[in-house]
Amino acid sequence: MTRATQQPRGVTLLGSTGSIGLSTLDVIARHPQRYRVVALTANTQGERLFEQCLQYRPEMAVLLDPAAAEELRAKLRAVGLTTQVLSGLEGLTTVATLPEAAIVVAAIVGAAGLLPTLAAVRAGKRVLFANKEPLVMCGHLFIEEARRSGAELLPVDSEHNAIFQCMADGFRAGRAPAAVRRIYLTCSGGPFRSTPVEALARVTPEQACAHPNWVMGRKISVDSATLMNKGLELIEACWLFGVTPDRVEIVIHPQSIIHSLVEYVDGSVLAQLGNPDMRTPIAHALAWPERIESGVKSLDLLEIARLEFAPPDRRRFPCLDLAYEAAAASGTAPAILNAANEVAVQAFLDRRIGFTDIPQVIARVRARLPAGRDVQLDAILADDAAARAEAARAIAVLERPVQQGVR
């Protein structure tokens, strides 16, 4: 059967109203003969989800809040759409396992996406990981469940997708790649790579969210400013590519053109280059092993002219050391790190603590909450909850009015 005569593959998009969700829908809209939207979900953006339902006519839609879901249901009914509206975690799990959806894009920010993403893996879907937290929290479990169900775990993070593209054929998540010596994770360095360290305490949420190269949500923007995003990606890379933390090196690359590199034992270094646009890795993972048009502008190397690299300043970015320590400790340490970071970042966005308090909160939680060795789901969720409670106590100690921004 040729592609032209095949039915479009169904896609469930967990987190359709965020930046990844919008980019995914843009790619899907370019290939109606290949893909159809089966289900869309959102946290609180009911109006945007309503507009997406009007455009893409999914079979199902999910909002976390039952009252918001009922409002969406009434609005869809009023315009004659038959989209079924569900709510809560149960609704997310339902659409993540629909028989009609061959592909599930996991783009829910933070730990909230853990359980529906795990359900999709257990159902044997092609799962496109756009949120790193599930693999950070319990990568071992995801790898084991994928082996059991036959699910395909494909990375959409630009860095991990770049590594994936530089790997030899036959890649399977969690399998140590043959002849790979080192993986290089690149990062732009965020908005504060040259800001005086002593000025970082005065950073405002608005400044932290103003990423120089990427358009992202607020939480991931703050993570990029602290480089915790890169620390979480380090842990994710260890699980996805079956390597130890000492074989992953983080490199600052301000232009965000080389998205990551893989070094082989023969001295070859393969790199994936492209404009900083998430539609490239999304299109690659959707169509793999084929290639499809993504809408991304062609890369002009002559216009870029130069590519720069530098090691990250660990004094400026203490979250990196915290992430390396958690990766080496394994067990529930990554889940504790992730939970503490989520709570600390939200407190910073709420102006309850300062920018430099974020790594302090995480360090306090890690020091006071020993990581467990049990990596089963119940143990991970228990340590996740304990870490959030401990982070709240640490924030109460540090809480103070935030000063004005960096000058």
Structure tokens, 401: 């009015």
CA distances from 188 to 26, 210, 258, 312 (A): 25, 13, 10, 10
- The answer to the question of whether 275 is labelled as a binding residue is no
- The answer to the question of whether 90 is labelled as a binding residue is no
- The answer to the question of whether 230 is labelled as a binding residue is yes
- The answer to the question of whether 341 is labelled as a binding residue is no
CB atoms within 10 A of CB 207: 15
- The answer to the question of whether 132 is labelled as a binding residue is yes
- The answer to the question of whether 374 is labelled as a binding residue is no
State which H helix or E strand residue 345 sits in.
helix 333-349
Largest Cα–Cα separation, the chain: 64
- Of 312, 357, 235, 279, residue with least CA distance to 28: 279
CA–CA separation, 53 and 368 (whole Å): 46
- The answer to the question of whether 293 is labelled as a binding residue is no
- The answer to the question of whether 321 is labelled as a binding residue is no
CA–CA separation, 24 and 364 (whole Å): 38
- The answer to the question of whether 213 is labelled as a binding residue is no
- The answer to the question of whether 331 is labelled as a binding residue is no
Q: Which residues contact 251 (CB under 8 A, 6 or more apart)?
A: 184, 185, 186, 187, 309, 310, 311, 312
- The answer to the question of whether 384 is labelled as a binding residue is no
Q: Which residues contact 112 (CB under 8 A, 6 or more apart)?
A: 43
- The answer to the question of whether 217 is labelled as a binding residue is yes
- The answer to the question of whether 158 is labelled as a binding residue is yes
- The answer to the question of whether 149 is labelled as a binding residue is no
- The answer to the question of whether 93 is labelled as a binding residue is no
CA–CA separation, 358 and 15 (whole Å): 26
Annotated binding-site positions for 1-deoxy-D-xylulose 5-phosphate: 132, 158-159, 188, 211, 224, 229-230, 233
Cite the annotated binding site for Mn(2+) by residue number. 157, 159, 233
Binding residue ranges for NADPH: 17-20, 131, 133, 217
Task: Could you list the residues known to form a binding site, using ranges.
Answer: 17-20, 131-133, 157-159, 188, 211, 217, 224, 229-230, 233
